[in-house]
Structure formats: C-alpha cells, structure tokens
Amino acid sequence: MGLLDGKTAIVTGAARGIGKAIALKFAAEGANIAFTDLVIDENAENTAKELEAMGVKAKGYASNAANFEDTAKVVEEIHKDFGRIDILVNNAGIQNRKKVAELSLEEWDRMIAVNESGVFYMCKAVLPFMTKAMQGSIINITSTASKTPHPNAAICYGASKAAVTYLTKHLAMELGPLGIRVNAVQCGPIRSDMTDQWTDEYRAAVMKKIPLGRLGTPEDVAAGVVFLASDEA
C-alpha cells in the first residue's frame, strides 16, 4: 500500500528539477500524475515515461502557469482524462537575481505572473473539483528567500514567494472548512537547474550560511511534500 494509492496529483513545472522529484515520489506512493510545463518536449516526454514505468497513469500537459485561460483549460482536460483531482502542487517558478536598478518592468511582471499569480490561478481552477469532492490537498512551493533579504538575492523573487506564503495561509483558512488542506513548503537552496545558474561568488556566499555544508536535493523536498499530500497529514 502506498501513501497516495488511488489519488490523482497535478504537479506544475514538473518536467525537471524539484517538480519532477515530487512527481516521482508521488508515483512511488501510488498516485497517478498529471504534470504541466511550458512545453512538453523530449525531456518532458521522458519524465512521463519514467512515471509510467512505475505502474501509474501519467501525462504531461503544455500549459503556461502565468496564463489563467491556459490553466483553467488544462485543469478541465486533466479532470476529463483522470476523473478526479486530489492533490495540487504549485511548483512552477522562475528566478533571477537582478537588483532593483537592473530589473525591467517586464521582468518584474513576468516573475509575479508565474510565481504568484500562477499559484492563485491553479488554486482557483481546481477549487470547483476539490469543493465538490469535499477533500483535497494543495501544496505551494515557496522559498526561504521570501523571509530574509540577502544582499545578492533578487528583490522580485523574494517578493513573489512572500506573496505565496500569504496566499497559502489565507487559503488554508478559507478552504479548511471545505475539507481542503493548504500548505507551503519553504525550501532553502536546492540543487537544480535554477541553482546551477548561480555565480561561484553567490554560491560561496550561500554555502557559508548552510550548517549541513551542502545544498538540499529535490528528493529532500519531495519527502516532505509527499507527507503533506497524504491522508497522514
């Protein structure tokens, strides 16, 4: 028996990185997986094949988290394909580390659209299905960057993730009475394509602050998220 047997999970931005590790861990616990990413390319197709090889139903959908119409459409499609939606992980996100003087208005708007509005859009789109079922678990992936400004970190990334923390607390309050749990996982620095782009200088500054002396792994995050997704939580 897996912790998530019979459940269907949506994981956004799961073609690679933390989202993919969450999808794999969910599949190992018996969940069927619908995942989204900007494009379903060879890499994303391979993710779907890896998931299917674990004996669950899995499908990747091209969908832009920053666009509400895309989001509403893909959620309808997933419900049609899978018949139920029990778990939503809002993982899709982007980062840049520009300072206020360097950041363009377009870059600000895009990061807010993906990291903050994207979470709201997905929650709004799954709500009718979870409300009807009177159950569900939503997990939003946020960041310790939302708590403490760092001299080399980006103003916009931290602000967008702080908004996700607030959204999570508010939604937990509003949706709890409907049987829907809403939690956030606030990750510290995790090894992924996102952190591979760091400069050596920034990496060295971050490493000084990590008592374990290593970055976290996507699997570390997935282990916590699977508990929150399960009925054990």
Which of 136, 158 has the CB closer to ligand NAI? Answer: 158
Query: Active site includes 157?
Result: yes
C-alpha torsion sign, points 95, 98, 104, 109: positive
Name the CA dihedral angle for 77, 79, 82, 87, rounded to a multiple of 10 degrees: 120
Contact residues for ligand NAI (CB under 6 A)?
A: 12-13, 15-19, 36-38, 64-66, 91-95, 114, 141, 143, 187, 189-190, 192-195
**Residue with Cβ nearer ligand NAI (96 or 131):** 96
- Cβ atoms of 157 and 101 within 8 Å: the answer is no
Q: Is the CB of 85 or the CB of 145 nearer to ligand NAI?
A: 145
- Closest to ligand NAI by CB, 45 or 231: 45
* CB 221 within 8 Å of CB 190: yes
Beta bridge partners of 137: 87, 181
Q: At 189, which amino acid appears?
A: P
Shortest Cβ 231–ligand NAI spacing (Å): 24
> Is the CB of residue 161 less than 8 Å from the CB of residue 152?
no
Q: Which two tokens stand for residue 71?
A: 């989001």
Count CB neighbours of 108 within 10 A: 17
Segment (H or E) for 34: strand 32-37
DSSP string of 41-68, one letter each residue: -HHHHHHHHHHHTTTS-EEEEE--TT-H
CB of residue 223 vs ligand NAI: minimum separation in angstroms? 15
User: Taking the complex as a whole, how short is the minimal distance between the CB of residue 45 and ligand NAI, in angstroms?
Assistant: 13
Least distance from ligand NAI to the Cβ atom of residue 179, Å: 26
Nearer CB in complex with ligand NAI: 36/168: 36
Q: Is the dihedral of CA 15, 92, 5, 230 positive or negative?
A: positive
Nearest approach in angstroms of CB 3 to ligand NAI is 22
* Residue 9 phi, psi (nearest 5): -120, 140
**Active-site residue (options: 61, 121, 157, 166):** 157
Residues identified as active-site: 157
